Chain A
Amino acid sequence: MTKINNIVVAGLGGQGVLKGTDILADVALRAGYDVKKSEIKGMSQRGGSVTGDVRFGHRVHSPMVPAGEADFLLVLEPTQVEPHRYMLRPGGILITPEAVPADQLPNKKTLNVALLGALSAHLPMAEELWLASLHSGFAESFFDGNRKAFLIGRAGQKQGK
């Protein structure tokens, strides 16, 4: 496989953007891919824009997703869609909070995990790997909520296809 999968996650400080990219990169690692993750987080705690890039494939060089080459753009906060749309390639998939039914989520903090669930429906990694990563990536007490949120996000995309 020579294709590199490019995913950009965007949101505001405190929304779990970087936790989301941590999980995604970890799942790609578990699946045996070469993976790189890049983030700009200097100002993230002050409510500014935060983005993280994850790239995986047989061999990845640059850790940064080139503008206009993202296969997926995951946005956690509606105001951050337009500022990051230029990252998406033609035909690339935009995933926003609208992709998941907010009222069904265990709590609003799980939005990042629910959107990962939506993303997961488009990626080749097996569901067990995602759940294993969610298990080890958070405190034990968060796992049930995260699992539920992930599966809601994942199911939503599968129905939508």
Chain B
Amino acid sequence: MNEPNRLLLSGDEAIALAARHAGVALGAGYPGTPSTEILEHFSELGGHAQWSPNEKVALEVTIGAAFGGARAICTMKHVGLNVASDPLFTAAYTGVSGALVVVSADDPGMASSQNEQDNRRYAVAAGLPMLEPSDSQEAYDFMWAAIEISERWKIPVLYRATTRVCHSYTIVQPRENPAAPKPANFERDIRGRVMIPAYARPAHRRLRQKLAEMQEWNETCALNHIVEGDHSLGIITSGISFMHAREAAPEARVLKLGFTHPLPMKKIARFVKAVSRCVVIEEGDPYLVEAIRAAGISVEGKADMYRFGELDVPRVRRILNNDLSLEPAKPPGKPPQLCDACQYRIVFEALRKRDCIVAGDIGCYTLGVLQPFEAIDSCVCMGASLGVGLGLRHVLPPDQARRVVSVIGDSTFVHSGISGLVEMVYNPPPNGHVLIILDNSTTAMTGHQEHPGTGRTLAHEPTGKVVIEDLARSLGIRRVHVIEPHFGTDEFDRLLTECLESNELAVIIARRPCILIAKQLKQYEAAQCECTAAPSAAPSPA
């Protein structure tokens, strides 16, 4: 068992614990591997955590909380920050009154993602301070530091973690006396928060001034430290790469950077000068090495082949040895697949049989691309199935256009498919379009989180519910069908054929709860019934 002062926690759990200890008033986000467990754990610890429909809304909600003087965190996976980038850039101008920490959980190597973008670039692009923890202790400590920096400079902080920090368990010693934040309170600041051009111009100058001050402060900041060692080899590193580098070259002198934007260039220059060879070890993009070289400091980077995928100890050894030989290929493991009893099997079988051109989306059902179905033709980002399908319908010759179908899951639909549906109504293709919403009543791929279409909160309690068919009908779509797909009948097949041949706009909602959570769903529903049946119960939300 964990002793109270020596806990074995994942990075995600450590972030949540620090947020709780620091009195974070609100955590909001959208589920995404490897970030999902942060808000789940924060909620289990008694924190106020919410799933938003998408990351943009989550960030806006937490910006509001931080305008109100509270401490707030917003969590997402790396690609989620693309969705949230609009408020992010301007929140850098407005700043905050309380604290706002934006956690971006990147996935180098794409364990469960569609790309391996390096979100350290966002810190530069938006002009935000950035912290990068390298284990769970730092995940805990850096959340405190991020809150302190956010409150001191009144600015959102980008907190960038990666899969091996989020999902690795390492020992954490929490703080003994967590401090309470000051209570939320609204103080009007029209020029500071209303970004009309006249107020935004000085706000941009204020942002650059803050960054200059933070850079100076960072020169002596304890978040960066030097591990003493042999001066013949110096390593500059951050995040999980620090751990691999320590093991690959235990004799080296290491500058470990924790506060990685704006960078402490004077400290870096002194470090480089004191060693005879200096190599930058970083996963993903050459962010540090480019910034350091741009400052006129000469360092070695990694060969381009190491830009792809995760780093580990053997790869760091290779980088240090300038080894450019072909890396041994890892034997393939068993790929995941759609569960045997999954309703999506019926849908993909029907799509394959009709040789449909399928604009797919992000979720379990993306597995429909694999054998035996191979029934997905595109997967770009959350919500893209609608727009991509419509674009194909507009340009393809009629015999191909009539076979185009968009396929999206329920959570993804609420996330960013709704605006695609509006596009479908507003710019209908000449031969109509068919949208299939695979509604399994959960966000299955990330581990069964709730969403606005389930009518339950993050903590599985009843709340307002978005009814997908009502929403589609309210937009004026005539053909809205709800069907429970069953094995052994061709009912779904016939409905699909009918819709494809109608030349109209059609929405088919294939609804059957995910078999993996059938038991939990019964419990939630039973709890819901008790709640509404009890005469003394508080009025349930609309």
Contact = CB atoms under 8 A, between A and B. Distances in A.
A12 interface: yes
A139 to B, nearest CB: 15
B342 to A, nearest CB: 9
A86 B331 contact: yes
B247 A62 contact: yes
Interface string B6-18: 1010000000000
Contacts of B516: 45
Interface stretch (A27-35, A91-99, A105-113, A141-149): A27-35
Nearest to B250: A61
Contacts of B331: 82-86
B111 A61 contact: no
B79 to A, nearest CB: 13
Interface residues of B, number: 39
A149 B135 CA distance: 34
A42 B337 contact: no
B169 A36 contact: yes
Contacts of B298: none
B337 A47 contact: yes
B137 to A, nearest CB: 11
A64 interface: yes
B112 interface: yes
A156 interface: no
B334 A34 contact: no
A37 B8 contact: yes
A41 B167 contact: yes
Contacts of A79: 334
A25 B8 contact: yes
A147 B247 CA distance: 36
What band does the interface of chain A fall in when counting residues whose beta carbon is under 8 Å from B?
35 or more
Interface SS majority for chain A: mixed
Contact of B336 (A26, A43, A60, A61): A43
Given A46-B338, A46-B367, A62 B171 contact: no
B202 interface: no
A85 B167 CA distance: 23
Interface in A36-57: 36-49, 51
A80 interface: yes
Contacts of A25: 8, 169
B503 interface: no
A133 B111 CA distance: 29
A102 to B, nearest CB: 21
B183 interface: no
A10 B246 CA distance: 26
Interface string B318-337: 00000000001011111111
Interface string B203-247: 000000000000000000000000000000000000010011011
A40 B167 contact: yes
A128 B419 CA distance: 58
Interface of B: 1-2, 6, 8, 33-34, 111-112, 135, 163-164, 167-171, 240, 243-244, 246-247, 312-314, 328, 330-339, 364, 367, 447, 516
22 contacts: A12-B334, A35-B8, A35-B171, A37-B170, A38-B168, A39-B167, A39-B168, A40-B163, A40-B167, A47-B334, A47-B337, A49-B335, A51-B333, A60-B170, A62-B312, A64-B312, A67-B328, A67-B330, A80-B334, A84-B333, A86-B330, A133-B1
Interface of A: 12-13, 25-26, 29-30, 34-49, 51, 60-64, 66-68, 79-80, 82-86, 132-133, 136
